[in-house]
Amino acid sequence: MPTTNRNGLNFGVLDAAISRTAQSLVEHAKLLDAHGYDCLWVPSDRADLLYDITNKIKHLKFGVCCNARDGNAMSMAETLLGLHKKAPGRIHIGLNATGDQSQIATVIEKLQAILPPTITLSVLSQASPAGAQLAGVNKLGLMSIAATTLGGFNAIAPSWDVYQRNRGDSSADRHTWGLAGPGHIAATRKTAYQQVEQGLSRWIEHLRETQQVNLISKGDDPAKSLVTNGIAVIGTPTDAIKQIRRLRKASGGFGCFLQTVHGWADEQSTIRS
């Protein structure tokens, strides 16, 4: 997709696979870089793996998703400063806005004091307006990481309104706004469904057991349910384009689409996706 007509969009991957080896992450990053993707985001517990990747990748930007707890965020800042020396201007940190807002605001203030302006700082927002408000007040970037969930999709347009209003100026730029949604792409819809059949069921069960999140009703076909409700793209590149157009219409415009990768399929199928 990124090597074709972008229509003003940047593209990236939010790698949220439950398990990922260092080598597979390196290979994934090389492939994204070769195919013109703009960025790769990883959870904070994989940030150390980026040290090796930055030596092998020349253009791809890297983002780290971090909980905004004081100790976690400040420790991650040290890691990001090290990465910044190896890949200046290509490091991004995203703070999860879930939790006590005054505490998160304090962490943001500390981070802004020690991070150079070339390390981009954004707030990771879900369905609640709190993330957009926090990003706006502190004039940070905004990433809607649950844009395709039922609650997240309905919150897209209100989130930008909250963000823009809380910035208190006219500098809000939709091009800096990122939206994320899960998907798995193959040559045909049938192939895509077959490739995710087992892994998707395990992922849904993992969410149910560890986070008490029920994305589908008991007894429903996982893939069909997620696709029907617009939560995920499981199909062809044409299906992915339709999802992006749906998000652009709902949002009024944004700058970057992140394909959230959960490792539903085997590694090679996931990389081709």
Cα–Cα distance measured from residue 255 to residue 251, given in angstroms and rounded to the nearest whole number: 11
pLDDT at 74: 81
For residue 121, the cross-strand partners are 93
- Alpha-carbon distances of 206 from 96, 215, 242, 264, rounded to whole Å: 20, 11, 28, 12
Beta carbons of 213 and 207 less than 8 angstroms apart: yes
pLDDT at 4: 46
Cα–Cα distance measured from residue 126 to residue 150, given in angstroms and rounded to the nearest whole number: 11
pLDDT at 238: 96
Sign of CA dihedral 111, 115, 116, 117: negative
Cα–Cα distance measured from residue 66 to residue 43, given in angstroms and rounded to the nearest whole number: 7
pLDDT at 18: 65
CA torsion 179-180-185-191 (nearest 10°) is: -130
Cα–Cα distance measured from residue 234 to residue 184, given in angstroms and rounded to the nearest whole number: 5
pLDDT at 19: 66
User: How confident is the prediction along the chain (273 residues), in pLDDT tens digits per residue?
Assistant: 454 446 789 999 999 876 677 788 888 899 999 989 999 999 888 888 888 888 788 889 999 998 877 667 788 888 889 999 989 999 999 998 787 888 888 889 999 999 999 999 999 998 889 999 999 999 999 999 999 998 999 999 999 999 999 998 777 899 999 999 999 999 999 999 999 998 999 888 888 888 787 888 878 899 999 999 999 999 999 999 999 999 999 999 999 999 998 889 988 888 787
Cα–Cα distance measured from residue 19 to residue 28, given in angstroms and rounded to the nearest whole number: 14
pLDDT at 263: 84
- Alpha-carbon distances of 126 from 15, 34, 150, rounded to whole Å: 17, 31, 11
